[in-house]
Structure 1
Amino acid sequence: MVALIAIPVLFAITVHEAAHGWVANRLGDPTAAQLGRVTFNPIKHIDPVGTVAVPLVIYLTSKSLLGVPFLFGWAKPVPVDWRRLRNPRWDMALVAIAGPGVNLLMAIGWGLVLYSMGQMLGLIEVPAAVLGAVVQMCLIGVLINLFLMALNMIPLLPLDGGRVLSALLPRPLARGFARLEPYGLFILIALLLLPNGQPPGLLGIALRPIVQAAFAVIPASDLIRANFPL
């Protein structure tokens, strides 16, 4: 079960971070590319605490969300020098959107694999154990990417949703909003633990409707709903 979760999780985190760097590079800032962060190598993006230790503790102590063990953590932030972007304010928003956007695309991709396998059943013979493992990985791949997309679009710095909100706010409000960034992680942890000290807490309540709404664009969503309590 751990391997079935680890593969789509690492893939989701790696492509999410690489997307930030790739878009920044296209918009004029090559910092991430020069540091080797526009890559699908997960080692370049893993933070020992945020990507390994914290998710492991959460995995062992949390309730499931929509039938999947709830995971919370972070990767090493992709460095972006806003001064090198052609249109810093709006380009920072585009860089931010790239991460959740690519998670949605990956969720659709996992769903397409799942749908294609359903169409091929009876046409090719696959060992039941292999079929079960691949189906389970696809199901988890869809949900993990939707969770990551939803989490990152929360309008709170340093999350991607906070970056987008900063671009949309009038400059005086954006400067005031930016002063909250040092407290963003503590706010998230509070949401994670409230009201009873067990993850996913209020954060899970906030993410659930976003994930449920995103199923409208996911192939094989009926199969996923049949396997997970949405």
Structure 2
Amino acid sequence: MDNIIQTIAIYALPVIFAITLHEAAHGYVAKHFGDLTAYAQGRVSLNPIRHIDPIGTILLPLMTLMLGGILFGWAKPVPVNFSALRRPKQDMLWVALAGPGANLFMALLWGLVIKLGLAMSESDLSRPMILMGEAGIKINIVLMVLNLLPLPPLDGGRIAASLLPLRMAQSFSKIEPYGFMILLLLLITGILGAIIGPFIGMGIRMVAWFFGLGTE
């Protein structure tokens, strides 16, 4: 029981901010390119409460943490009206990249938290900062890599649709209604972990290398 409580305490903030700031970044970039839908609904915000989905942001990540395997979860999707973007097909690329980009940025911030924790080695806060920083790096790299899968409606699917010729993009986008079911099937069968696991490991090692942290 103590281990469960400790795990929740370490992972709670990294999970909440990783998932919710990912969504806020989509809304901010969409606003920058002309779509005010998310802004009008108060979703261009750093307040996690505006983005939390009780199942996807809290329950499911906790279950996957307890059971092991790939961390899985989501926030309430930020509404984006792609037709309201100034250049819908081209701007879709930047709106989609914003979420994974936010996760990469947060992974680097958590790396900085580890460095600060190491520098405060005599403080009681040192160990919690290091553990939370390690969790933050892992969570954000997992979400970044997962969302870059070229599968609609994931960000990687939006990116692919933006880069493909119009006719191919329209055909590719027809997969979207089945994308979540495909993702769940890949998760349950273990194929998802086999696909993205090496990229997650590489991303974590790169962040560790950037801060001179080394890897275990």
Measured after TM superposition, the shift of residue 217 of structure 1 is 4.2
Measured after TM superposition, the shift of residue 43 of structure 1 is 1.5
2:100 is aligned with what amino acid?
Answer: P
Measured after TM superposition, the shift of residue 54 of structure 1 is 2.8
Question: How far, CA to CA, are the matches of 1:21 and 1:50 in structure 2?
Answer: 19
Matched, 1:134 2:129: yes
Question: How far, CA to CA, are the matches of 1:54 and 1:115 in structure 2?
Answer: 30
Moved over 6 A (4+): none
> In the alignment, what sits opposite 1:216?
206
Aligned-residue sequence identity (percent) comes to 48
Matches within 5 A, 1:182-201: 182-194=177-189, 201=190
How well do the aligned residues superpose, as a CA RMSD in angstroms?
1.6
> In the alignment, what sits opposite 2:111?
111
> In the alignment, what sits opposite 1:85?
85
Measured after TM superposition, the shift of residue 55 of structure 1 is 2.6
Number of equivalent positions: 208
Matched, 1:30 2:36: yes
8 Å CA contact 1:21–1:37 kept in 2: the answer is yes
Measured after TM superposition, the shift of residue 212 of structure 1 is 2.4
Higher share of residues assigned helix: 2
Q: If the length of structure 2 is used for normalisation, what is the TM-score? A: 0.90
1:56 is aligned with what amino acid?
Answer: L
The residue matched to 1:166 in structure 2 has which SS? helix
Q: Deviations along 1:91-149, whole A, 9 cap, x unmatched?
A: 1110000000110011011112212333454xxx302xx32111100000011000000
8 Å CA contact 2:15–2:57 kept in 1: the answer is no
Q: Deviations along 1:168-214, whole A, 9 cap, x unmatched?
A: 111111111111101111111111111xxxxxx22112222212222
Q: Which moved more, 1:97-106 or 1:170-179?
A: 170-179
Question: How far, CA to CA, are the matches of 1:14 and 1:49 in structure 2?
Answer: 13
Question: How far, CA to CA, are the matches of 1:184 and 1:45 in structure 2?
Answer: 21
Question: How far, CA to CA, are the matches of 2:118 and 2:49 in structure 1?
Answer: 33
8 Å CA contact 1:111–1:221 kept in 2: the answer is no
The residue matched to 2:213 in structure 1 has which SS? helix
Matches within 5 A, 1:162-181: 162-181=157-176
Task: Determine which structure has greater relative contact order: mean sequence separation of CA pairs < 8 Å that are 6+ residues apart, divided by chain length.
Answer: 1
Measured after TM superposition, the shift of residue 222 of structure 1 is 3.5
Question: How far, CA to CA, are the matches of 1:60 and 1:118 in structure 2?
Answer: 27
Question: How far, CA to CA, are the matches of 1:117 and 1:132 in structure 2?
Answer: 7
> In the alignment, what sits opposite 2:53?
47
8 Å CA contact 2:113–2:133 kept in 1: the answer is yes
Q: 1:221 and 1:147, CA in 2 relative to 1: closer, same or farther beyond 3 A?
A: farther
8 Å CA contact 1:155–1:162 kept in 2: the answer is yes
The residue matched to 1:40 in structure 2 has which SS? coil
Q: Deviations along 1:47-77, whole A, 9 cap, x unmatched?
A: 223223333333333x34xxxxx32121111
